[in-house]
Chain A
């Protein structure tokens, strides 16, 4: 709502196509500081509706930091300061008038380590709808829980033990429970920070399949350290290095014909 006219008129060092025809999130000149230390430097990028975009780059380059800017999870870190503009559907999410509660209901998040609440499976999924008042009756809540668990591919495995603790599931099941918990509040975007790094290959394959499914209905931003994973699931890939967004583009192109030397070095395994 602020900078509509010149929103696509940005000076950036990033190589490749940062713009999208149907942007859901628009980031312009985002800087992030931890105290005096700058973790993200002048990043501009669009994230489209219903696309799966992966963030790759060597560890410590700021992928998580940037991801956490998108739903203002960085607010919970006292020293963290975010500058620049991030628009969700043309609204500045860092505007003073914006409340983080509805924002985070719109932008769900899945973390690196599966972190179900120490409550029952049912309660884990029902928690979000309950605090946001998304259901007016027990039946509605049951319906939401069932649907979310079905969408996350967990329903068949847990439907008989909804009241047993979520922490008693296997790692992969826990992570899918966390995904179910995130989609239970009907978000538009899901942020995932290395969701498979704590899982074995079989569980990883299941989650990847799930992400592919979810990509039809949600925008998904996934941070991953596995280039194969990025190649398998995402339509676009963004390569970060030392806090800068070096290159963005179609995943196929990034992996076969990277334009930037650093990107090429990382992809061919020389950095990282």
Chain B
């Protein structure tokens, strides 16, 4: 065995060598498996941590504290013109009526205490009464119990974020207010229930009545514009590049650039949108149409790349079959290639759209960060989108906005999960056509 001359191994020698190497290989396999499990374990635990922290913070944000008051709906004071028109109602004296019914419960003494008592109820109380009257004018002249959101500081106090034992000077609410709140609690007038505002309210500086409806609709409109622009354009580009473009220098350069565009930071597309759509074409800022156009620029490369892959994956034998029977190129593409590539193209598109849904930076560039109370009614009404809303709320000082930020994140996540589920279902459904 010691001579270095190469020789042919006997079957016995060979099997010994193989056996010893098998043990080594098994060990290597086992080690790799362990590393893989550790990696997956880490990833899963991060994910769980993320979800637990977001949900534990965000779920309380969907609920808030309310106070119930017996309000006498004085016809003359609420509806000064007497025609039940919104203008008349909004000019009415609803706010004072609500405050007066509050006073009846807590009996504030003197100017100072009265001033403190006013802080308890959200500024939105008058709007609530006007709406109730508009919905059902018959309630005018009656005394009925109505629940109002409490001010955000009171809410934080009731949640225990503002502590009783903190010195009064360092608290956002003083002892008088605490005394009143205790009194309301004692009379069972304080309740904790699902928020009327988080899902249906629009932007507001008062956190207790701020909601995500405006941002949600803004997101939907923006995504709709993005889809309408990016999907046809992306698919058409992919079809052209795959089926028609000659293979030469120019198409090669275009290909490389499309692939590079997919990796460009999204904020660059925002700058592009700012320079071109606002700067040159003079489009108004903050509108979903503009946001959708900018996001379409951003998602196009993703859609093009995945559509091309989907088209390339169509078996050439199917194309041969179509050409063989005399189908023209266009017929072959529209009757066979596109239907077969559609699941892949849609998956890519939805992934691109999901990215766009979570995008903040490019929209900040084009002014979708403006504080807009009105819910956009169309793509040309100024609006904002969910991630930008989250970004803005995270920046506000009020304690209650922290919960609302997490709630908005939950809504965004649910939206994303729905989109991805739609992608999966759509793909399954289209693929099931054999």
Contact = CB atoms under 8 A, between A and B. Distances in A.
A78 B326 contact: no
Nearest to B340: A118
A78 B315 CA distance: 18
Interface string B273-305: 000000000000000000000000000000000
B324 A111 contact: yes
A111 B320 CA distance: 8
A176 to B, nearest CB: 14
Contacts of A100: 326
- Name, among A73, A119, A131, the residue most crowded by chain B CB atoms within 10 Å (CB to CB): A131
Nearest to A110: B324
Given A78-B247, A131-B331, A73 B318 contact: no
A115 B325 contact: no
Nearest to B247: A78
B106 to A, nearest CB: 74
Given A118-B340, A168-B434, A185 B326 contact: yes
Given A118-B433, A131-B331, A167-B434, A185 B325 contact: yes
B161 interface: no
B318 A105 contact: no
Interface string A73-85: 1001010000000
B321 interface: yes
Contacts of A119: 434
A81 to B, nearest CB: 16
A128 B325 CA distance: 6
B321 to A, nearest CB: 4
A115 B318 contact: yes
A19 interface: no
B342 to A, nearest CB: 12
Given A115-B318, A117-B336, A131-B331, A102 B324 contact: no
Nearest to B324: A109
Interface string A98-136: 001111110011010101111100000001100110000
A71 interface: yes
Interface residues of A, number: 30
A104 B325 contact: yes
B324 to A, nearest CB: 4
A111 B321 contact: yes
Interface residues of B, number: 20
Interface in B133-152: none
A165 interface: yes
A214 interface: no
B327 interface: yes
A132 B328 CA distance: 10
A117 B321 contact: yes
A178 to B, nearest CB: 7
Contacts of A182: 324-325
Contacts of B322: 117
Nearest to A130: B335
B194 interface: no
B326 A178 contact: no
Given A78-B247, A165-B434, A167-B434, A118 B318 contact: yes
* Majority DSSP secondary structure for residues of A touching B: helix
Nearest to B327: A131
B402 to A, nearest CB: 53
A181 B434 contact: no
B317 interface: yes
Interface string A137-177: 00000000000000000000000000001011000000000
Given A118-B340, A131-B331, A111 B326 contact: no
A167 B340 CA distance: 14
A104 B324 CA distance: 6
A132 B335 CA distance: 14
Contact of B328 (A101, A113, A116): A101
B326 A128 contact: yes
A76 B320 CA distance: 9
A182 to B, nearest CB: 7
B46 interface: no
B35 to A, nearest CB: 41
B329 to A, nearest CB: 9
Contacts of A101: 326-328
Interface string A56-86: 0000000000000001010010100000000
A73 B433 contact: no
Contacts of A102: 326
Nearest to A132: B326
Contact of A127 (B325, B328, B433): B325
A71 to B, nearest CB: 7
Interface in B308-341: 315, 317-328, 331, 335-336, 340
A56 to B, nearest CB: 22
A105 B321 contact: no
A115 B331 contact: no
B317 A115 contact: yes
A73 B320 contact: yes
Contacts of A185: 325-326
B133 to A, nearest CB: 61
A128 B323 CA distance: 10
Contacts of A128: 325-326
A167 B433 CA distance: 11
Contacts of A115: 315, 317-318, 320-321
Per CB-CB distance, the 3 closest pairs between chain A and chain B, nearest first, are A104-B326, A109-B324, A115-B317
Given A76-B320, A76-B323, 4 more contacts: A111-B317, A113-B317, A182-B324, A182-B325
Interface of B: 247, 315, 317-328, 331, 335-336, 340, 433-434
5 contacts: A102-B326, A109-B324, A118-B433, A127-B327, A185-B326
